Amino acid sequence: MSFQPKRTKFRKQQKGHHTGCSKAGNFVHFGEFGIQALGRGRVTHRQIEACRVAINRHFKRRGRVWIRIFPDMPVSKKPAETRMGKGKGAPDHWVAVVRPGRILFEVGNVSREEAQSALRRAAAKLGIKTRFVDRVEKV
């Protein structure tokens, strides 16, 4: 299962500035437990897939998993041993830009201990700091 957009307006994108905190997706919305990003960075489509596999293998077909991030930013790369110049490289892979506060994965229909264990395994696959969070009921 490869995560990438079906189509984009432009093939290549600039790096941009990834400052500030997450403006959306900061609360557990679908499940009961989740992991929240404490650091900032890029999460590749391979890391997202590795997390999904780790969680599903731990649950053994119990529980539900929601992936709250999507890699919609292309990262270009020039071939190895290429001289400088000659323009920007071809799109190589896709990443999701993650800022502090963003919920990355949510799980439901499992106990707290099961959820913690599964999400800890998933967090080990990511290159950013995360924390385990519960659903907060809003009144």
Q: What phi and psi, each to the nearest 5 degrees, are found at residue 49?
A: -65, -40
pLDDT score at 1: 63
Is the whole-model pTM more than 0.85?
yes
pLDDT score at 138: 60
46-81 tens-digit pLDDT: 999 999 999 999 999 899 999 999 999 999 999 999
**Taking 60 as the threshold, does the pLDDT of residue 139 lie above it?**
no
pLDDT score at 61: 87
pLDDT band with cut points at 50, 70 and 90 for residue 2:
confident
Place of tokens 């490289």: 89
DSSP-derived 3-state class of residue 50 = helix
112-138 tens-digit pLDDT: 999 999 999 999 999 999 999 999 766
pLDDT score at 116: 97
Type of residue at 102: R
Considering only CA atoms, which of 132, 131, 127, 130 is closest in space to residue 42? Answer: 127
